[in-house]
Amino acid sequence: MSLRAVKGMKDILPDEISKWHRLERAFRDRVEGYGFREARFPIVEPTALFVRTIGETTDIVEKEMYTFTDRGDKSLTLRPEGTASAVRAYVQHSVQGREPVTKWYYIGPMYRRERPAKGRYRQFYQAGIEVFGDPGPYIDAEVIDMVVGFIASLGITEVEVLVNSIGGAATRQNYTAALLAYLEPHRDELCADCQRRMDANPLRVLDCKVPRCVEIAADAPPILKHLTDDDRAHFDRLQEALTKLGTPYRIVGSLVRGLDYYTGTLFEVLGKGEGLGAQNALLGGGRYDQLVKSLGGPDTPAIGFAMGLERLLMAMPEVESESHVDVFVVAAQPTVRAEAALLGRELRETGLRVESDLRGGSLKSQLRRADKMNTRIAMILGESEVAAGAVQLKDLRAQKQHTVFRKEAAKRAHEILAG
Ligand code: AMP
């Protein structure tokens, strides 16, 4: 029996990787431009971390976590998302004592045992940010504006930005009563999960994907009508700031998102272009003002988002992939193979990416490999070139070849590559 990757988990081979690198580099550049710094957290965490933060009645915790008992009888879980770890680390390292506002970003794999589909995997990658210590609303607007600008910079133009507010504890208390009054007559029509959610966390019912529950949720009273004055003022300021920044958005009162820790501002960006299919949520985020405290830290407001990298890659326009090699060094005779290795090293020391076929082979077969790699330049070294301190430099795109001094070869290659 041949072994294959776990269902829903994919290999990313080198032919695909340049797109990933481009995306990750663009993300780093963008968020570092706003003062975010990278943090890396363990992929495995104590199970209790996710149960306590994401929430016991959420789909992730109820159905999707990869949880196992290690050899020390501890219950561990492969992280299904990044915020819980970030908050745990923020509290564990008493980061609040070092700076009033902390801005972190992360990139890495997440694990959820969902039903695999196009754009939905069991191991997928997220890039996200977290801001600790700023109650908003201006940081909320800046974060939304930052990520919308980032997505546009990837060439993804057809997007929709959804925003909502679910307010703080007081708003939620008011709203829960109104929501329950609305749901109660429909209790028997709801799915078994939602019937349980009604008692544990009624807001969760609004996030159910079962068709009949979706229909019932659509007519539920909107939470925005139940915001306290403070929560309303926050949401109004956020909208004013987004308008000032020129970020288009749509208010969607039914947006609650599937995790328990959110408070106040929520947002999601949907991809509208073809290619994404049904899994069109590119990113989601929001405020979680109670989470740091609930994990034993000081009262610290916070906001963050996470984007699915696979979905961004699916939505990004195709660009011609560049060669991963600048120069292919060709040894014209077996006697100069060691000399060719030396030339390769000289060229690499100037920053060029250099390949060669040190197994040897005919001149023609070596040049064919250079061509296959879409390399721009070949440098051919034979006995006469070695004797003369020269190389044959062939521009494979222009199909021009001439002899250059070996000590000038790297400079010439850089000039050709710079166009
Ligand atoms: P969430 O952590 O659920 O708010 O998800 C944030 C983003 O991660 C989503 O908008 C998706 O882009 C991405 N995402 C979530 N789950 C998956 C999955 N199973 N496969 C691929 N991407 C996902």
Identify the H or E element spanning 174: helix 169-183
Helices marked H in 220-362: 229-245, 291-294, 309-315, 337-348
Ligand 1, atom 23, lies closest to the CA of 308
Q: Is the CB of 312 under 6 A from ligand 1?
A: no
CATH fold, domain 14-168+228-315, is BirA Bifunctional Protein; domain 2 (3.30.930)
Which ligand 1 atom lies nearest to the CA of residue 112? 19
Residues 282 and 271: their CA atoms lie apart, in Å, by: 6
Task: Please tell me the predicted confidence (pLDDT) of residue 268.
Answer: 97
Ligand 1, atom 20, lies closest to the CA of 120
Task: Please tell me the predicted confidence (pLDDT) of residue 319.
Answer: 84
Ligand 1, atom 14, lies closest to the CA of 308
Ligand 1, atom 4, lies closest to the CA of 284
Q: Is the CB of 79 under 6 A from ligand 1?
A: no
Please give the structure tokens belonging to residue 8: 């829903």
Contact partners, residue 229, CB within 8 Å, separation at least 6:
none
Pocket test for ligand 1, best of 6, 83, 110, 261 (most atoms within 8 A of CB): 110
Domain ranges of the chain: 14-168+228-315, 327-417
Give the chain's residues under pLDDT 70.
Answer: 1, 258
Q: Is the CB of 310 under 6 A from ligand 1?
A: yes
Residues 368 and 354: their CA atoms lie apart, in Å, by: 15
Q: Is the CB of 285 under 6 A from ligand 1?
A: no
Task: Please tell me the predicted confidence (pLDDT) of residue 197.
Answer: 87
The pLDDT tens digits for 289-311 are: 999 999 999 999 999 999 999 99
Please give the structure tokens belonging to residue 188: 């028997």
388 CA from centroid of ligand 1 (Å): 60
Q: Is the CB of 106 under 6 A from ligand 1?
A: no
Of 133, 175, 186, nearest to 300 by C-alpha is 133
Q: For residue 245, what are the CA distances in angstroms to 29, 128, 238, 331?
A: 20, 21, 11, 58
Q: Is the CB of 306 under 6 A from ligand 1?
A: yes
Omega before 137 within 30 of 0, i.e. cis: yes
Share in percent of the chain as helix, strand, coil (round to 5) = 45, 20, 35
The pLDDT tens digits for 313-325 are: 999 998 887 889 9
Which ligand 1 atom lies nearest to the CA of residue 81? 2
Pocket test for ligand 1, best of 66, 280, 283, 312 (most atoms within 8 A of CB): 283
Which ligand 1 atom lies nearest to the CA of residue 311? 12
143 CA from centroid of ligand 1 (Å): 18
Task: Please tell me the predicted confidence (pLDDT) of residue 256.
Answer: 84
CATH fold, domain 327-417, is Rossmann fold (3.40.50)
Pocket test for ligand 1, best of 114, 120, 162 (most atoms within 8 A of CB): 120
Q: Is the CB of 305 under 6 A from ligand 1?
A: no
